């Protein structure tokens, strides 16, 4: 890594830092959590397409951050419109939520073009450019056209849409052709690589299936599509878990919550995370079980997200209304069955909740991976606690020892929450958690990033003779 880092350029939608009343802080979200440790150690450039220029220009940042100059209407049409109003729901299987508007598609193309131009301008000769996520899918091909000397990687952080769904996107071919400008396209799990292959079949794009992925000939070079499961800063979370002040805060949380069993969910407030469905399942459990009413508390930490998109504003209201209804029905002066924190917590606070929780309830309807599941496991110093995880999250493919649940199965979800909340912990729980801890340790973000970048270099070199012809 050390030798390659200065030549690294990262391109993403959001900036790694945001300005708040308390100063400049780490931005929330999985992508930032994943890349910050890597960029801190490197001295590369981060190009943040939709960034707050103020935060980018701050002198105390540990590396160079560049923003694009975008008119606010273009930014909104690209980010809230084409990205979060169309590509996000499409990729998560919420086709009915999608809105395809021509002016939003135009803005998406324009922003990708602008990002490619800035990357072309800032990348040193022969540099490695790593582009992130569905908001910038056209950048690889646009950048390649401007700078054929660059090595280009792309990582798609959300599920790859099933072909049937993708074909309703009016610019599906452009999206896929844009991605195929990269030398290596990473997806989280083999399931998504298979879905990508189905897309290529559907669009009639020729490809070769290989053991690790797919190879698509693109003129004198090849684009590869492979599974690269992301991880977390394992040691960072583990050391928080060993921190005495964090442990003291966790004990304080447990006692403030009444000393019973604590269930924890941590999500961006997003309809794909299944928050309302989880709260409703917990409400049914409260109806059915006096033990749950007396002994179990659900803590839902839900950072507000994408509130310029109507579906997200509605969701926040539904979450707050559901929590209010549950309190009204089951709460009392000394007992609150659900606690909702609608704000960003710092890593210490979050770690204290991870320690205090007897079980993490991670039940998205669909999720590219889900880093919260990993963070819960990594933070706990001992192999105790339980993880309830949706089988529809990418994380389920890499954490098979979790208690897996179908988030669409109402009764199944309720009884799984009841089980992880109340069943006495046994040796089998500890065996499961020990296995999960070993898996999460192997999936560190450093391994992910360095592995992806090393593979990117390798596949580019493999095809170098073809490029020279
Ligand atoms: P996200 O959809 O943002 O990421 P996730 O992977 O769960 O989802 O990451 C959320 C991150 O935000 C975690 O690091 C968590 O600690 C943090 N977070 C959430 N709520 C918080 C709060 N209230 N306060 C502080 N921090 C909070 C996208 C994809 C995922 C994929 C990641 C990485 O949707 O499927 O796992 O990218 O590829």
By CB atoms closer than 10 A (0-12, 13-18, 19+), residue 212 is middle
pLDDT score, position 327: 96
Spell out the residues 6+ positions from residue 433 whose beta carbon is closer than 8 angstroms to its own: 377, 380, 383, 384, 385, 386, 387, 401
Q: Which residues pair with 384 in a beta bridge?
A: none
User: Is the C-beta atom of 230 inside 6 A of ligand 1?
Assistant: yes
User: Is the C-beta atom of 342 inside 6 A of ligand 1?
Assistant: no
The structure tokens 């979050």 sit at: 350
CA distance 328 to 278: 18
CA distance 12 to 130: 9
Q: Whose CA is nearest to atom 7 of ligand 1?
A: 370
> Could you tell me the distance, in angstroms and rounded to a whole number, from the CA of residue 295 to the centre of ligand 1?
29
User: Is the C-beta atom of 304 inside 6 A of ligand 1?
Assistant: no
Atom of ligand 1 lying closest to residue 372 CA: 7
pLDDT score, position 211: 87
Instruction: Determine the distance from the C-alpha atom of residue 135 to the mean position of all C-alpha atoms in its chain, rounded to a whole number.
Output: 13
Three-class SS state of 232: strand
pLDDT score, position 59: 62
pTM of the model as a whole: 0.94
Contact between 265 and 278 under an 8 Å Cβ cutoff? The reply is: yes
> Could you tell me the distance, in angstroms and rounded to a whole number, from the CA of residue 108 to the centre of ligand 1?
24
> Could you tell me the distance, in angstroms and rounded to a whole number, from the CA of residue 150 to the centre of ligand 1?
30
> Could you tell me the distance, in angstroms and rounded to a whole number, from the CA of residue 415 to the centre of ligand 1?
26
User: Is the C-beta atom of 158 inside 6 A of ligand 1?
Assistant: yes
Which residue pairs from 238-241 have beta carbons closer than 8 angstroms and sit at least 24 positions apart in sequence? Answer: 238/378, 238/379, 238/381, 240/347, 240/348, 240/351, 240/379, 241/351, 241/354, 241/355, 241/378, 241/379, 241/380, 241/381
Atom of ligand 1 lying closest to residue 344 CA: 24
Q: Whose CA is nearest to atom 37 of ligand 1?
A: 30
ipTM of predicted complex: 0.99
Contact between 106 and 120 under an 8 Å Cβ cutoff? The reply is: no
Mean pLDDT by 10 residues, the chain (469 residues): 61 85 72 71 83 70 84 95 97 96 98 97 92 97 97 97 96 98 98 97 94 91 96 93 98 95 96 98 97 97 89 94 97 93 92 98 98 97 98 98 97 97 95 98 89 93 60
User: Is the C-beta atom of 28 inside 6 A of ligand 1?
Assistant: yes
Q: Whose CA is nearest to atom 4 of ligand 1?
A: 30
Q: Which of 264, 266, 357 to mutate to test the pocket of ligand 1 (most atoms within 8 A of CB)?
A: 266
The helix, strand and coil proportions of the chain, stated in percent and rounded to the nearest 5, come to 50, 20, 30
CA distance 345 to 268: 12
Spell out the residues 6+ positions from residue 140 whose beta carbon is closer than 8 angstroms to its own: 131, 152, 154, 178, 179, 180, 181, 182, 185
User: Is the C-beta atom of 30 inside 6 A of ligand 1?
Assistant: yes
User: Is the C-beta atom of 29 inside 6 A of ligand 1?
Assistant: yes
Q: Whose CA is nearest to atom 19 of ligand 1?
A: 267
DSSP, res 335: B
Q: Which of 372, 374, 396, 440 to mutate to test the pocket of ligand 1 (most atoms within 8 A of CB)?
A: 372
pLDDT score, position 62: 74
Rounded to a whole number, what is the distance in angstroms from the first to the last CA of the chain?
30
User: Is the C-beta atom of 350 inside 6 A of ligand 1?
Assistant: yes
Q: Whose CA is nearest to atom 1 of ligand 1?
A: 30
Spell out the residues 6+ positions from residue 380 whose beta carbon is closer than 8 angstroms to its own: 241, 354, 355, 433, 437
pLDDT score, position 14: 85
Q: Whose CA is nearest to atom 35 of ligand 1?
A: 368
pLDDT score, position 28: 64
CA–CA–CA angle 328, 334, 338 (5° rounding): 50
């Amino acid at each position: 890594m050390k030798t390659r880092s200065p030549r690294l350029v990262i391109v993403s939608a959001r900036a790694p830092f945001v300005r708040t009343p308390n100063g400049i802080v780490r931005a929330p979200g999985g992508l930032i959590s994943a890349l910050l440790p890597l960029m801190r150690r490197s001295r590369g450039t981060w190009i943040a397409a939709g960034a707050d220029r103020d935060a980018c220009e701050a002198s105390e940042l540990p590396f160079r951050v560049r923003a694009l100059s975008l008119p606010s209407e273009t930014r909104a049409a690209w980010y809230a419109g084409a990205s979060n109003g169309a590509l996000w729901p499409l990729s998560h299987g919420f086709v009915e939520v999608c809105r395809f508007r021509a002016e939003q598609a135009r803005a998406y193309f324009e922003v990708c073009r602008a990002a490619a131009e800035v990357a072309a301008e800032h990348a040193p000769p022969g540099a490695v450019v790593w582009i992130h996520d569905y908001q910038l899918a056209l950048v690889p091909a646009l950048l390649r056209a401007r700078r054929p000397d660059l090595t280009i990687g792309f990582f798609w952080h959300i599920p790859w849409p099933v072909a049937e769904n993708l074909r309703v996107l009016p610019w599906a071919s452009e999206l896929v052709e844009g991605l195929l400008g990269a030398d290596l396209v990473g997806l989280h799990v083999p399931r998504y690589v298979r879905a990508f292959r189905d897309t290529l079949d559907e669009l009639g794009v020729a490809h070769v299936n290989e053991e690790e992925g797919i190879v698509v000939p693109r003129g004198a070079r090849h684009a590869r599509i492979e599974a690269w499961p992301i991880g977390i800063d394992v040691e960072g979370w583990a050391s928080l878990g060993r921190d005495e002040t964090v442990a003291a805060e966790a004990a304080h949380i447990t006692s403030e919550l009444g000393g019973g069993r604590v269930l924890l969910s941590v999500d961006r407030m997003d309809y794909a995370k299944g928050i309302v469905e989880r709260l409703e399942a917990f409400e049914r459990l409260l109806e059915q079980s006096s033990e749950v009413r007396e002994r179990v508390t659900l803590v839902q930490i839900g950072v507000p997200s994408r509130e310029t998109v109507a579906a997200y504003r509605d969701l926040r209201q539904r979450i707050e209304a559901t929590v209010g209804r549950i309190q009204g029905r089951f709460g009392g002066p000394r007992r609150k069955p659900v606690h909702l924190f609608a704000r960003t917590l710092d890593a210490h606070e979050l770690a204290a909740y991870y320690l205090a929780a007897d079980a993490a309830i991670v039940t998205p309807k669909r999720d590219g991976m889900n880093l919260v599941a990993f963070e819960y496991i990594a933070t706990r110093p001992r192999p105790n606690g339980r993880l309830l995880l949706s089988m529809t999250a990418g994380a389920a493919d890499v954490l098979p020892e979790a208690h897996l649940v179908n988030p669409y199965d109402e009764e199944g979800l309720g009884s799984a929450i009841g089980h992880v909340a109340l069943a006495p912990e046994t040796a089998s729980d500890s065996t499961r958690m020990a296995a999960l801890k070993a898996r999460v340790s192997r999936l560190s973000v450093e391994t992910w990033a360095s592995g992806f970048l090393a593979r990117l270099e390798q596949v580019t070199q493999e095809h170098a003779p073809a490029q020279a012809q």
